[in-house]
Structure 1
């Protein structure tokens, strides 16, 4: 089963660490990153989709994606 996550955060080093951590856990980049201005906070926000193959098992929406 292919699982999907969308990581988001402010455009700072912590976002880069979040993506790097996901990659180190076996997630792969999916598509291009997104970048947008948040008018409420006056800061830039980043987003990056990641995917990972999980062992064959039924999908459980109550289960955390990192636990697949």
Structure 2
């Protein structure tokens, strides 16, 4: 089964650490990162899709994908 997550957050080191942690947990980058400006918060927000293949599982919408 292939899992999908969209990681998001302000353009700061915490976001980079979030993506790095996902990569080190077996997730792979999926497509290019995206960035936009949040005028309400006054900051740039980043997004990066990641995917991971997990054997022997059935998809369940209640899954916590970050725990996989």
TM over 0.5: yes
Corresponding position of 2:31:
31
With normalisation by structure 1, the TM-score equals 0.94
* Corresponding position: 1:51 with 2:51: yes
Cα RMSD (Å): 0.9
Q: Higher strand fraction: Structure 1 or Structure 2? A: 1
**Structure 2: segments with no counterpart, 5+ residues:** none
Q: CA deviation at 1:67?
A: 3.5
Q: Deviation above 4 Å: which 4+ runs of structure 1?
A: none
Matched residue count = 68
